Structure 1
């Protein structure tokens, strides 16, 4: 077992209670930062899995014949580009729940449809669903408890989200009965749920998404040290969440998936509350998963936007911040969507050991409104938030291009 960082062992999720009003959000002019890479290596097609979940919209960023060197942040328009069969786009965002004034959205399948213009604009998208899916059960002994009815999964689907991770410190907030309901909801869910299961085999199993002819394996796991991980980590014959500590089981699953699927994504719950820089344990986990063959390693938990960039051949983002959340004052309201462009030709290869399949990365700053829904703010705020994102990246120790 890896030694645990002392600070990590004490980490807990402790959001503050009362939301404060946010300033009104004006029409959006989204500022984004793009990092480009050329010369991705093509290789022979990989074998496809049988139990894939067909998904994938066709709106994607256009490719170009050549890719320039990393550039300064540029403005991104809100128009929808023509679909490019050579590029698969994947969008990621942070923590989603349906607490307090967000509760009505969980019973309205179109409650988050406006997110189709951000998350739904990519071929595939994924978030962290930070709540138990139950209306029963008993609260476990912690300060904050999140839950939502199974109908919330229809709301998630309506937002254009293709998969969620429930490997987090609120996935079993209502004990064994709540877990039973959550697992039942998972079976009937209109979107794949990863990172939680009736035993460790199910909890560590990836969902297989299909788009642009690629098979994308997505995992979920947590290394936030608190009651959920201590009591409800999945094991042999034991239901719960996938634990990334020790990282051994997750690393083995990622290694197997890397040999079988075109793209491997790991969505982690990691880091320390209210910190914009990764802790040492998160860095060690990212390094282990990069070595295991993960193409994309992302996640959150800190309630703060963290930095992103390349670690070896993997693209890493240490924290997206909150997303659909009951916080509407800064810095809790800082949010955004990370959109990665994947080179389809390179991803189809099975001999791409040291080649990154991620060609471009774009961060779209957002602010969570007084209604708990994130939106791109006015141009001045977008520029300010982009600067803060760049500053967070300075302590992440990540590169602006793959090694």
Structure 2
């Protein structure tokens, strides 16, 4: 049995994107080709880098410069695109306060989209989500390593916050990953980590990724940098962005990104694809040939630094993974009836 999961990084539907959505007959934010690509997967997961609400005011947080809020109709747009699960643990979930955060969960649920990583209290924010697809159960945990002020607490809405910058990964998170690995076929950890506009994962991100894998994560998916990073079998260090209205860095080219398709069996990833996309302001399409060449070259080089050899298929970048015997026999994993290692 296998499942294919489509993944996208930071999806910012506020500011200029919100203005585009507000039109009576808005221009599609994504081309048909993008929609076809994500709908080819069994599940489509993304990081929602905004709240979805028409309530609230910008939160008073020293040093915070950007506040992102999308209108309620954004939830329907995401459903039409094909998104069925979103990560809310990030540094923009509370941009317009707790009311807007809770509205986000309501609007997403109304549109048939499941959310993970934020909630009315710490227990709800940290609660994992389990999805069934391809005959497999996929356990999902979402956390953010910034800002600490957005952390949910008893009686206080917020995100699942984990301090990954200083010292060891919090014990509650290690335990949660291990428990999910024992009770589901596959475990996915979403992490909004590290600084913006970096070309490769910073040291604390690499350290945490290793801890997550040892705890039982089959796939770790990162976001926050707004720039895609290299990847290994079990860690997509940064997915890049899906849509936004951001200024473009001339060297890092955060307007060129990737859509990811990862096929997994009960032992983890068996195949990874990355399809180059282009982010025009408030509109996303498949990359043209010149954009594709730039993106492919950068991803191939970034992966080579990590020992990952990427094949250029002409319309996407791919890796077929050789199964690790140590991984298939990891103790404590759930075993389905009739399954062999």
Do the structures match in fold with TM over 0.5? yes
Give how far 1:244 is off.
2.3
Query: Residue 77 of structure 1 aligns with which residue?
Result: none
Aligned partners of 2:2 and 2:135 also within 8 Å? no
Give how far 1:155 is off.
0.9
Query: Residue 270 of structure 2 aligns with which residue?
Result: 359
1:236-280 deviation line (CA, Å, top 9, x unaligned)? 333210012243222211111111111111111012211011111
Are 2:178 and 1:258 aligned? no
Corresponding residue to 2:137 among 215, 219, 226: 215
Query: Residue 291 of structure 2 aligns with which residue?
Result: 381
Query: Residue 264 of structure 2 aligns with which residue?
Result: 342
Query: Residues of 1 paired with 2:201 and 2:299: CA distance?
Result: 14
Corresponding residue to 1:121 among 21, 25, 40: 40
1:185-230 deviation line (CA, Å, top 9, x unaligned)? 3554520011001112211112222211111112211013xxxx32
* Cα pair distance change 1:394/1:272, threshold 3 Å: farther
Give how far 1:394 is off.
3.9
Correspondence list, 1:54-65, <5 A? none
Please state whether the residue corresponding to 2:16 is helix, strand or coil. helix
* Cα pair distance change 1:397/1:143, threshold 3 Å: farther
Are 2:213 and 1:290 aligned? yes
TM-score by length of 2: 0.80
Answer with 286-295 or 177-186: which moved more.
Answer: 177-186
Answer with 127-136 or 104-113: which moved more.
Answer: 104-113
Please state whether the residue corresponding to 1:308 is helix, strand or coil. coil
Aligned partners of 2:31 and 2:284 also within 8 Å? no
Query: Residues of 1 paired with 2:272 and 2:68: CA distance?
Result: 32
Aligned partners of 1:335 and 1:374 also within 8 Å? no
Are 2:10 and 1:95 aligned? yes
Please state whether the residue corresponding to 1:288 is helix, strand or coil. helix
Please state whether the residue corresponding to 1:118 is helix, strand or coil. helix
1:16-75 deviation line (CA, Å, top 9, x unaligned)? xxxxxxxxxxxxxxxxxxxxxxxxxxxxxxxxxxxxxxxxxxxxxxxxxxxxxxxxxxxx
Give how far 1:182 is off.
3.1
Query: Residues of 1 paired with 2:175 and 2:257: CA distance?
Result: 32
Give how far 1:161 is off.
1.2
Answer with 289-298 or 234-243: which moved more.
Answer: 234-243
Query: Residues of 1 paired with 2:193 and 2:81: CA distance?
Result: 25
* Cα pair distance change 1:179/1:378, threshold 3 Å: closer
Please state whether the residue corresponding to 1:309 is helix, strand or coil. coil
Query: Residue 279 of structure 1 aligns with which residue?
Result: 202
Query: Residues of 2 paired with 1:248 and 1:105: CA distance?
Result: 43
Query: Residues of 1 paired with 2:86 and 2:257: CA distance?
Result: 17
TM-score by length of 1: 0.68
Give how far 1:233 is off.
0.4
Aligned partners of 1:222 and 1:269 also within 8 Å? yes
Relative contact order (C-alpha < 8 Å, sep 6+): which is higher? 1
Query: Residue 172 of structure 2 aligns with which residue?
Result: 249
Stretches of structure 2 lacking an aligned partner (at least 5 in a row):
164-168, 310-318, 325-341
State the superposition RMSD in angstroms. Answer: 2.3
* Cα pair distance change 1:111/1:366, threshold 3 Å: closer
Corresponding residue to 2:117 among 182, 195, 200: 195
Query: Residues of 2 paired with 1:183 and 1:380: CA distance?
Result: 39
Query: Residues of 2 paired with 1:105 and 1:396: CA distance?
Result: 39
Query: Residues of 2 paired with 1:124 and 1:144: CA distance?
Result: 30
Stretches of structure 1 lacking an aligned partner (at least 5 in a row):
1-85, 348-355
